[in-house]
């Protein structure tokens, strides 16, 4: 599959998946990245910028980068007057111009490439974005729970739209979650797209963070800080740049 993520994201996906109450996620980031007032934080693959904007509202400075130009335009509009800057950029290569005190890659924005070495590059860019001592959080699917609770079809939204229907398959030989998304926008227009994410299990996420240079790696199962296990909704790996 080509770089499916380059033209995958649209307004319907933003409305149904990215717009959310992010208070608990922000609490987690402030605590686990050990953020102090005025610290600069990098939101890698920031989507519509809601976490970066939330942090800016809480007294931090934020920079975000995402490949999706309409999402970046929306983030810039929503961040007017806040200490937040957004770049339309590829996180496999992009580093913020100023070294940051903390960084995160949130809500399954990782593991898209076929090659592990390419995915690792994204973590290396996060590592390079930090000052020594800075912390990074990677919020990812909890692969054991995805296997355990596998559902071949999922729906979100309302019949009149916006709506997303996902038909899902796990390619167990490649260890990837493959999904066909049928999105219907508010005007009733339908479109189809596919996604593919490598189901890195928790221990492998920790290895990838280690390979990128991070140390003191912890694996958590949710934003409440519980340890990760087979039932956890998420796997959040947190590491520190020595
Ligand atoms: C599931 S969304 C999550 C967005 C955001 N992190 C959040 O918490 O809502 C994944 C985002 O990653 C972005 N993305 C995927 N690959 C990227 C890349 N190589 N460089 C920059 N952004 C990327 C997509 O455009 C999309 O906005």
Calculate how far, in angstroms, residue 109's C-alpha sits from the geometric centre of ligand 1: 5
Residue 107 Cβ contacting ligand 1 at under 6 Å: yes
Strands (E), the chain: 40-44, 61-66, 84-88, 100-105, 130-141, 153-157, 163-171, 176-184, 190-198, 215-220, 234-240
**Looking at ligand 1, which residue's alpha carbon is closest to its atom 10?**
109
Non-local (6+) Cβ contacts of 239 within 8 A are: 135, 136, 209, 210, 214, 215, 216, 217, 218
Backbone phi and psi for residue 10, each to the nearest 5 degrees, phi listed first = -135, 180
Query: For position 1, what pLDDT does the model report?
Result: 57
Terminal alpha carbon distance of the chain: 36
Calculate how far, in angstroms, residue 241's C-alpha sits from the geometric centre of ligand 1: 23
Query: For position 113, what pLDDT does the model report?
Result: 98
Q: From residue 10, give the alpha-carbon distance in Å to each of 67, 169, 181.
A: 12, 22, 12
Per-residue tens of pLDDT for the chain, all 242 residues:
589 999 999 999 999 999 999 999 999 999 999 999 999 999 999 999 999 999 999 999 999 999 999 999 999 999 999 999 999 999 999 999 999 999 999 999 999 999 999 999 999 999 999 999 999 999 999 999 999 999 999 999 988 779 999 999 999 999 999 999 999 998 889 999 999 999 999 999 999 999 999 999 999 999 999 999 999 999 999 999 99
Query: Which token pair is 205?
Result: 């996420």
Are 85 and 119 contacting, i.e. CB atoms less than 8 angstroms apart?
Answer: no
Residue 15 Cβ contacting ligand 1 at under 6 Å: no
Give every strand in the sheet of 234-240, ordered side by side. 84-88, 61-66, 40-44, 100-105, 130-141, 234-240, 215-220
Cα-Cα-Cα-Cα dihedral sign, residues 148, 156, 183, 110: negative
CATH architecture classification, 4-141+201-240: 3-Layer(aba) Sandwich (3.40)
Query: For position 41, what pLDDT does the model report?
Result: 98
Query: For position 2, what pLDDT does the model report?
Result: 83
Which atom of ligand 1 lies nearest, measured to the CA of 47?
Answer: 27
Which atom of ligand 1 lies nearest, measured to the CA of 105?
Answer: 6
Query: For position 143, what pLDDT does the model report?
Result: 98
| Domain boundary assignment for the chain | 4-141+201-240, 145-196
Which parts of the chain fold into alpha helices (H)?
11-13, 23-32, 50-57, 69-78, 116-128, 143-148, 202-212
């Amino acid at each position: 599959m080509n770089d499916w993520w380059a033209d995958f994201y649209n307004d319907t996906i933003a409305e149904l998946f990215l717009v959310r109450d992010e208070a608990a996620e922000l609490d987690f980031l402030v605590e686990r990245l050990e953020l102090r007032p005025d610290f600069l934080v990098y939101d890698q693959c920031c989507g519509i910028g809601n976490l970066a904007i939330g942090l800016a509202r809480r007294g931090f400075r934020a920079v975000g980068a995402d490949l999706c130009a309409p999402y970046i335009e929306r983030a810039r509009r929503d961040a007017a007057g806040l200490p937040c800057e957004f770049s339309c950029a590829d996180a496999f290569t992009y580093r913020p111009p100023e070294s940051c005190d903390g960084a995160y890659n949130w809500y399954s924005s990782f593991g898209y490439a076929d090659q592990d070495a390419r995915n690792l590059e994204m973590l290396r860019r996060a590592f390079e974005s930090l000052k020594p001592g800075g912390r990074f959080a990677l919020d990812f699917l909890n692969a054991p729970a995805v296997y355990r609770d596998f559902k071949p079809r999922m729906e979100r939204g309302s019949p009149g739209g916006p709506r997303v229907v996902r038909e899902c398959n796990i390619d167990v030989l490649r260890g990837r979650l493959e999904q066909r998304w049928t999105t219907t926008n508010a005007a009733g227009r339908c479109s189809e797209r596919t996604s593919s994410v490598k189901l890195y299990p928790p221990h492998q996420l920790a290895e990838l963070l280690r390979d990128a240079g991070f140390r003191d790696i912890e694996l958590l199962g949710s934003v409440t800080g519980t340890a990760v296990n087979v039932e956890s909704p998420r796997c959040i790996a947190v590491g520190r740049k020595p």
